[in-house]
Amino acid sequence: MARKQALPTGLYLRGGRYWMDFTDPLGQRHRGSLATADLATAKAILEKEKAKLVAQAHGLAPKETGVSAFRTAYLDAARLRLAPPVLEARRRQLDAFLDYCGVQRLDAIRPEHISGFAASILEQKRKGPRDEAGVHVLKPLKRSTALDYLKAVRAALRWAVRHDYLERNPFDRADRLAPDEVDKRIVFLTPEERDRLLDACDDPIPNHGRGRKGKGTARPRRTRLRAMAAIAVHAGLRLSEIIWLDWQDVDFERGEITIRNKDGWKTKTRSERVIPLFPTLRAVLEPMRLPAGPVFTTSTGQRYTRRNLLRELELAVDRAKIAKSASWNVLRHTFATTLVSAGVALFAVSRWLGHKTTRVTEAHYAAFAPNDALVKQAAIALGAAAKGKGKKGAAVG
């Protein structure tokens, strides 16, 4: 066995590598290789180990940094502030990242993991609409989708740093998708595109399954897709809000639609809001009016699922021959941009959209406000203020 050399207390050299051998404040002995032949590095590692053990002796031990423990703690904390759909999306995005990293400890995550994860998302494909032969067309994921995944990872790792699961966020040192590489323009439909899409929603949905007794092709089926799309473009409802809309929420007498929390579902901001029932939307809903129950149901009387409606809208977009990628969120953008472009106050639009603050609305839609109308309003307000001041001055004099 190699002879111990004259080194700092708790450190010795053996086989060309430095080892530690010391006793913590609780009287427990610690021995092991430091896996380095550099003396300065060995000293630094030794001091860090001693500091950690002293903290443990005084009840200040760092939290368990295992990936499983962190994941459970983070999702439990997020469950208190996020709506179930948002929480499910965060869970799915975080699990995809942790699976890609393949590490057992959180502090083993490196900036290279984040850069590689972003690249792997861009290489994935998603199912698009069926072609004429009934086969799904594979489409690449958008860069905005990759950015959404990275935002979820960054939020989780920031939480880990704030709650002492990590000393430093590896996300801050990673090569990420630059913000200017993602098209952040709000996508919306023009009035002509909107009308074409609503007309296409009236067409029967092709059914690529087999007919009865396995013979032939099942007949095309009709849905309430037009009415659901109309609610999105004339009231700005999110897809989940459309799915969970009940007739009790539609007040034809007062001309209002109320979005409220329900058993098994919460709004995105967990708060209620009231939206005007505009005449164009009233004309669509009035013939369908029922005393109670869900506004939209399948042929079996159940509420629709997001997956089915996403697919059906894609088919309608293809039938309408709309070049841009139109989703349910695009229909919501269409509602907002139409109002803001007409000069409706951002505060009112923000309240109808269900944003927590007007800053969110301003960030997305302020550019659509007509500048000439705002300038005229400001000029009138300033003129009235100056006129009022002059009268007051004259009265005082």
Q: Given this structure, which CATH class describes domain 191-365?
A: mainly alpha
The confidence score (pLDDT) of residue 137 equals: 67
Residues in contact with 267: Cβ distance below 8 Å, sequence separation at least 6, in sequence order:
83, 241, 259, 260, 261, 273, 354
The confidence score (pLDDT) of residue 251 equals: 96
Place of tokens 């939206």: 275
The confidence score (pLDDT) of residue 211 equals: 46
Q: CB 5: neighbour CB atoms within 10 A? A: 10
Please report, as a single letter, which amino acid is at residue 249.
D
The yes-or-no answer to whether 67-181 and 191-365 have a common fold is: no
Specify whether domain 67-181 bears CATH 1.10.150.130. Answer: yes
Q: Output the CA–CA distances (angstroms, integers) from residue 17 to 14, 23, 30, in the order listed.
A: 5, 20, 17
217 Rama sector, left if φ>0, alpha if ψ -120 to 50, beta otherwise: beta
**Cα separation, 62 vs 60, whole angstroms:** 6
**Cα separation, 312 vs 226, whole angstroms:** 11
With beta carbons less than 8 A apart as the criterion, state whether 205 and 220 touch: yes
The domain spans of the chain are 11-57, 67-181, 191-365
Q: Model-level pTM? A: 0.58
With beta carbons less than 8 A apart as the criterion, state whether 338 and 366 touch: no
**Per-residue confidence of the chain (397 residues) as pLDDT tens digits?**
444 455 677 888 888 888 888 887 777 787 888 878 888 888 888 888 787 767 666 655 555 678 888 999 999 988 887 878 888 999 999 999 999 999 888 888 988 888 888 888 888 877 666 666 767 667 777 777 888 888 899 999 999 888 888 888 888 777 755 544 444 578 899 999 999 999 999 877 665 444 444 444 445 556 789 999 999 999 999 999 999 999 999 999 999 999 999 988 988 888 999 999 999 999 999 999 999 999 999 888 899 998 889 889 988 998 999 987 788 999 999 999 999 999 899 999 999 999 988 988 988 898 898 876 666 667 777 876 665 555 444 443 3
